[in-house]
Every structure is written in structure tokens, then in C-alpha cells.
Amino acid sequence: MDVQEALRTRKSIRGYKPDRVPKEIISRVLAIATRAPSSLNTQPWQITVIAGKVLDEIRRENMRALNEGMMSTEEIIRTSFEGIYRKRQVDLAIQLFQLMGIGREDKEKRNQWTMRGFRYFDAPAAIILSLDKSMNSTLTLCDIGILCQNICLAALEFGLGTCIEDQGILFPDNLRKLAGIPEFSRPIMCLAIGYPDWEYPANKLVTPRETLDNNTKWYGFE
């Protein structure tokens, strides 16, 4: 698969086949993905790959925390969006709910949908990307973002789908308790990874993008 095709075809996968992904395959994905550039080549990412019983246990703990209405800890920075950004967020929810047959007023189904995210979309594996708490800068957040995309693209070569998601790290203490993430690390982002179930309705979504004319300014090209 060439780079253009990978960039065009990558999309968030929110429904997976139950098939397990061999450790060797994920290892190959990570080996190539960690060719990612990073600020000053610090390679600040700490990578935790979780599957099997451990992942099931984390899913259960996340569900429990959600049901108990436990707020995520203060280490998570999350703000609400406004204006066009809010509109795009709402549009995404409308598109996903339409595909999934979830009615606007159907609180129960909407809750179920939210829970899927906290269950890593029931993927057979999840990758948690953490930073040492001392590596707290816009540079390192950018490094994690680049690695995320590299993982998504590298995964395609192996027939794997991914969904970058922050829902999976919103209860960081569950990850510390069950996946050995140390106290001095902060989970920043995670990815669900597995073989896509192409029959799963949400996987049919192709999200729109703004045209370059609306978000790019050019100078000196006349």
C-alpha cells in the first residue's frame, strides 16, 4: 500500500472481529511506527499493549467507574468545544448515530454507545501511549499525535483497523492498577486495534473534511 492510499483509506474503526491479533504483528506495527519523528528525538512515548484477560478486566473496571459516575482525575485536560468545532463534533455524532440506528432521544442506546468507547470498541487489543509526567509540553503531545497516526497507517499494511481514542484513558488509575503503568507516567492517548468488522454499521462512515480553501492561507505564491 502506498502512502497516498494509506492516508486516503485510514478511518476510525469502531467495530472489530473477535480474532486475536498476534503479538508479533503488533510488534511489527510498532517497530515501523516508532520511526516517527519526535522533538529533539526524545522519543518520549511509553507504549503499553494490552489484550486478553487484562484488557477484559480494564473494560470491566472502566464500566464500573462510568456507572458509578466517577469523574476522571484532574490529570486529564478536556475542554468543551464551541462554534464550528462544536458543530463538527455534533455532526459526527449525528452521522454515527444514524448509521447505528440510535435515535436522538434514545438515552439508553446513546449510553451504550458511549460505553463502547470506554471498552475500546471491544477490540481484541489496545495500545496506550503514555508520557513521563516530567515530559509535559506541547512538543511531547505533538510527538504522541504523530506516533498515533503512524500506528494507524502501519496497521493498514497488516489488514488491521484502529481507532485513536481518549475515552480509553479517561480512567488512568485503572490502567495503572491493571496494566502496570507507573505513577510517574500519564496516559495521553490510546488506540483500539484489531481486524475490522466491515459489516459493523459505524465502520461505513467516511467523515467529511473542510476544503483547503477554508483552512489554508497562501502567501508569496503569486
Ligand X SMILES: Cc1cc2nc3c(=O)[nH]c(=O)nc-3n(C[C@H](O)[C@H](O)[C@H](O)COP(=O)(O)O)c2cc1C
Q: Of the two residues 114 and 136, which places its CB atom closer to ligand X in the complex? A: 114
Pick the closer one to ligand X by CB: 40 or 206. 206
Pair 34, 151: CB distance under 8 Å = no
| Residue 92 touching ligand X (CB under 6 A) | yes
The site map against ligand X for 45-84 (x = CB under 6 A) is ----------------------------------------
Binding-site member from 99, 166, 173, 201 for ligand X (CB under 6 A): 166
Judged by CB under 6 A, does residue 163 bind ligand X? yes
| Span interacting with ligand X, options 11-19, 54-62, 103-111, 211-219, rule CB under 6 A | 11-19
State how far the Cα of 65 lies from the Cα of 178, in Å rounded to an integer.
14
Residue closer to ligand X, measured from CB, 53 or 209: 209
Q: Minimal distance in Å, beta carbon 77 to ligand X?
A: 12
Q: Which stretch binds ligand X (CB under 6 A): 31-39, 72-80, 163-171, 212-220?
A: 163-171
Contact call for residue 203 and ligand X (CB under 6 A): no
Burial degree of 210 (CB within 10 A; 0-12, 13-18, 19+): exposed
Near ligand X by CB under 6 A: residue from 33, 59, 100, 117 = 117
Q: Given candidates 130, 140, 167, 203, which one binds ligand X under the rule CB under 6 A?
A: 167
**Stretch of residues binding ligand X (CB under 6 A), selected from 57-65, 79-87, 104-112, 160-168:** 160-168
Instruction: Tell me which residues touch ligand X (CB under 6 A).
Output: 11-12, 14, 92, 117, 163-167, 189, 207
